[in-house]
Structure 1
Amino acid sequence: MVIAAASQLFYARGFTAVGMDELRTVTGMPLKRLYRLFPSKEAIIEQVLQVWQETWETSVTAQVESTQVPRDRLLAVFDFLAVWFSSEGFRGCAFINSFGELGASSGLIAGIVRDQKKDFQDYLAQVAAGVGAPETLAPQLAILAEGAVTTAAISARSEPARQARAAAEVLIDAAMATVPGNCCRCHPDSPGAEGPGS
């Protein structure tokens, strides 16, 4: 209950604006009990970020696994972003937000955010490797995705997902063209392309 309430408050209003007294009020939990469960607000933030990490990984993986078309698997993260950007209450990346507010003062929070960004790039590398794309493609796609999230949050518009997807298509085509024998694998309509049942 505490983590769910803290998650909503932190994402909607920021990490520094929400204090333990407000969490006590929202959860109806005595402050002493709250501190017995969590010795500090940083401990609550740590658990909130862990939950967000699990949610992010589950959502992105589900989008990628929804197709077996190689090129679409690489672009799936941008399809996920398009839906997320249009959702009510979207305020950008919670990890970037937490780093912006607390990264300079909390080595723990900074480390969690860095690990999350690395995990995201590692996952994209796995997807890229699975379709025969060069390893250099993964960080490029990750940077596009991260930039789209930040731009969408600042502009309060969903178009950055579409724009980043279009840029990703160019990067994917260029990267696959450099791999001998793989130039058609990402294009399901091209001669010799691998379809879902291949």
Structure 2
Amino acid sequence: MNIKTTDTRDKILKTAEQLIYQNGIHAMGMDVLVKTSGVARKSIYRHFANKEDVASAALTERDERWMQWFRSESDKGETPQERILNMFTALTSWFESDGFRGCAFINTAGEVGDPEDPVRQIAKMHKQKLLDYVLELAGQLNVENPEALAKQLLILLEGAITMSYVMGDLKAAGNAREIARLMLEQVSPGK
């Protein structure tokens, strides 16, 4: 693949991701994608079979980029407890960023009824990666049941995202962080 082809593909995916995040998958028609990206329909179809393929590729790239950012921000802590609490600090900065519209994966999964649809599967994969990361951190603690702790922390993360977006509560991540801190004190006293 030459550089021009890669640039065109990247432009299509970047535009598709922005459109999906702003307005949802159903609002991102091929006509809108052509107009917004400035890429000819023929060029889009040279890279992707249909709108669903474009959406799936855009969401997959968003997953990789978001997880890399989230891990990088969270991993700034020196101890597992600090890294766990940093997850909520990272969310706060995301919530306060321009254009925050909640979780792209929750939003798009809500648009698709079929649990086997590729978009739903990408959303599920994203949440599984997030759970795996939280479990990785919880597993570094000396706790009896790191799996249960990781699932509880994931609920706090997801709840904070939802409260911030739906309710406009910019303190949701801070509130969830405080609950997480209390949980960590309970499961690993003296740490």
Asked if the contact 1:81–1:149 (Cα under 8 Å) also holds between the matched residues in 2, the reply is: yes
In the alignment, the residues of structure 1 paired with residue 115 and residue 51 of structure 2 have an alpha-carbon distance, to the nearest angstrom, of 13
Residue 170 in structure 1 maps to residue 170 in structure 2: no
1:161 matched to 2:178? The reply is: no
Distance 1:65 1:22 in 2: 38
Among candidates 21, 32, 36, match of residue 26 of structure 1 = 36
Between 145-154 and 155-164, the greater mean CA deviation after superposition: 155-164
Q: Could you tell me which of 60, 77, 83 is aligned with 2:70? A: 60
**Aligned pairs for 1:80-119 within 5 A:** 80-104=90-114, 107-119=117-129
Larger Rg: 1
Counterpart in the other structure of 2:3: none
Moved more, 87-96 or 157-166: 157-166
CA RMSD, Structure 1 to Structure 2 (Å): 1.5
- What are the ranges of 5 or more consecutive residues in structure 2 without an aligned counterpart? 1-10
Which residue of 2 is the match for residue 3 of structure 1? 13
* Alignment partner of 1:35 out of 22, 31, 45: 45
Q: How far did 1:103 drift?
A: 4.2
2:135 matched to 1:125? yes
- Deviation digits for residues 125-160 of structure 1, max 9, x if unmatched? 111112323312101000110011011111123111
TM-score by length of 1: 0.85
User: Does structure 2 conserve the Cα–Cα contact (< 8 Å) formed by 1:103 and 1:109?
Assistant: no
> What residue number does 1:179 align with?
none
Gaps of 5+ in 1: 177-182, 186-198
Alignment identity in percent? Answer: 33
Please list the CA deviations of residues 35-94 of structure 1 after superposition, one character each: whole Å capped at 9, or x if unmatched.
221111110111111111112211111122212133211111101001000111101000
Kindly indicate whether the alpha-carbon contact (under 8 Å) linking 1:20 and 1:31 is maintained by their aligned counterparts in 2: yes
In the TM superposition, what whole-angstrom CA distance separates every residue of 1:1-47 from its partner, at most 9, and x where no partner exists?
A: 00011111111111111210111112222212212211111101111
TM-score by length of 2: 0.88
Give the residue type in structure 2 aligned to 1:166. E
> Relative to structure 1, is the Cα distance of residues 103 and 51 closer, same or farther in structure 2, using a 3 angstrom cutoff?
farther
